[in-house]
Structure 1
């Protein structure tokens, strides 16, 4: 079992669970979350004999918080996950939620040899996401522009009871979710690192967003997601040239791993175990 791994001069913390000889499943969290957001899903996967590895990703692990926004560009984020996969044999099933899904899509497209299967949660294929922008997604993604600003987002989001709490409540977060955010992100010093994923968007290689995925894929989306619209979800199939399943969860908010762990674990197990 591993507790950490190294890449690019950085040290990443990992929650490693389940039998050491189980098939590895890498679980990639989104914003504003850490590895602990996968706890309920991980328990269901390990009960079926799988080994789960959930890293605190770049900007979140205390030993992996580089200062420059360009250090959070997608090639670095994908490289971090590849380093973890190398630790467990060079290939793994990959699951990602929110920003973790964006990394998972890109990894599967650019490095199919490392990705046995893909389960992406909430965020559609990057090309479908971009194509959805003039179809309503731009309004739903308004915050991505605001997060480009220096300093101000940290001030607004760190204030208890402030803008982030309100936005999260409107998006379906529970009081427990918001308290976990305060403890695990803000108090832990991971807020700027998480925001730097958004600030690094201008450094993303344009061609990387338009690479098709050729590994078996499941996409899980929920119809009460205030951040990701239906058009991108329904057109993600256009960017997968392999066995593909679209799973829509009715009445579930954006926070699928913590609010619908049974349904998500079932989708993952169906993809991983067949």
Structure 2
């Protein structure tokens, strides 16, 4: 029987990270997204540990109980990949399977691209492999969606930071519900755009009740950890967005390089990410409709990618909204890594 979740701190790559861990066996690292923490994997940790894996879920740099460096430039993808590699080494392991959601997915994909020697396999939830920089830079997205596009809005120093830190539980409640498949404004996914003169949370009104997958206790767990950073509760998290342009510049030498390890992509059909377009004009939804076909960009980036798993009715919070389906997909993927080749 798997042990219970334990918590501790580790010093890696110049930062102190909080980690949650459970189980023994091959290492699986679970990398959360924005604005979350290790707790977003609460439904996966025990299930994977019970299946025979050593599962570790860190609070990534800038988040929750982990260190929040003051320098905005300390949040590039190269720093984040460095944290992952250093964590694998600190845990005494040679390799890990990486599973990332939201921002954790670009970290996982980029780590697999840069260090396939340390990554046994990789799975991304919500965000597909957009290489080499992880996300399309603001110099492109602002022409596609305008100055109100949420990633452009986040570039303004202190603005979104203050908006979200004003009332942390309310901010988290509105955003978690608003970006889910159960949002009260309708089921069709759409890009997040902030109207002039408003804040992002103004586009996400309070829901009369929480969806079944989210409780007030869940929200409070997140809120208590973010509150540890006071008025800077979300600044470290927003600093990830403030390096998107720089990521594309720093990783330019790797343009054209792909992911050479087994890969899996899981996304909800109500996730707003499915509506976002790349520089080529194709949306994530377009890629999914053509996944596996000749010349499909997703297959070209990760030749060993399994067939994408699309979850009906699921919004952005993949592993929280559909824990059973996500656990099944991950366990099938992990089991397949050890299965003998059939071709």
Instruction: Give the TM-score range, shorter chain.
Output: 0.7 to 0.9
- What is the match of residue 124 of structure 1? 128
Deviation at 1:200, TM superposition (A): 1.8
Deviation at 1:237, TM superposition (A): 2.2
Deviation at 1:163, TM superposition (A): 6.6
Aligned with residue 30 of structure 1, among 30, 33, 40: 33
Are the equivalent residues in 2 in contact too, given 1:32–1:185 (CA < 8 A)? no
- Bigger drift between 220-229 and 23-32 goes to 220-229
- What is the match of residue 240 of structure 2? 197
In 2: Cα distance, 1:162 partner to 1:92 partner: 36
In 2: Cα distance, 1:188 partner to 1:102 partner: 25
In 1: Cα distance, 2:152 partner to 2:92 partner: 37
- Superposed CA deviations along residues 227-252 of structure 1, whole A, max 9, x for unmatched, are 34313555422211225331111111
- What is the match of residue 4 of structure 1? 9
- Greater helix share, structure number: 1
- Bigger drift between 76-85 and 256-265 goes to 256-265
Are the equivalent residues in 1 in contact too, given 2:101–2:127 (CA < 8 A)? yes
- Bigger drift between 234-243 and 108-117 goes to 234-243
In 2: Cα distance, 1:75 partner to 1:202 partner: 13
Deviation at 1:84, TM superposition (A): 1.0
In 2: Cα distance, 1:129 partner to 1:236 partner: 14
Structure 2 residues without counterparts, runs of 5 or longer: 1-5, 184-209, 276-284, 292-296, 337-343
- What is the match of residue 169 of structure 1? 177
In 2: Cα distance, 1:37 partner to 1:126 partner: 23
Assess, with a 3 A threshold, how the Cα gap between structure 1 residues 3 and 186 changes in structure 2: closer, same or farther: closer
Aligned with residue 223 of structure 2, among 151, 176, 182: 182
- Bigger drift between 190-199 and 241-250 goes to 241-250
In 2: Cα distance, 1:79 partner to 1:251 partner: 35
Query: Does 2:103 align with 1:99?
Result: yes
Q: Which has the higher contact order (CA 8 A, sep 6+)?
A: 1
- What is the match of residue 231 of structure 1? 286
Query: What is the correspondence of 1:243-254 to structure 2 with a 5 Å cutoff?
Result: 243-254=305-316
- What is the match of residue 114 of structure 2? 110
Deviation at 1:4, TM superposition (A): 2.6
The CA RMSD measured in Å over matched residues stands at: 2.7
Scaled by the length of structure 1, the TM-score of the pair is 0.87
Structure 1 residues without counterparts, runs of 5 or longer: none
- What is the match of residue 268 of structure 2? 222
Are the equivalent residues in 2 in contact too, given 1:126–1:209 (CA < 8 A)? no
Deviation at 1:17, TM superposition (A): 0.5
Larger radius of gyration: 2
Are the equivalent residues in 2 in contact too, given 1:171–1:253 (CA < 8 A)? yes
- Superposed CA deviations along residues 178-229 of structure 1, whole A, max 9, x for unmatched, are 4444333245544111111111223212425653101000100110102343
How many residues end up aligned between the 2 structures?
269
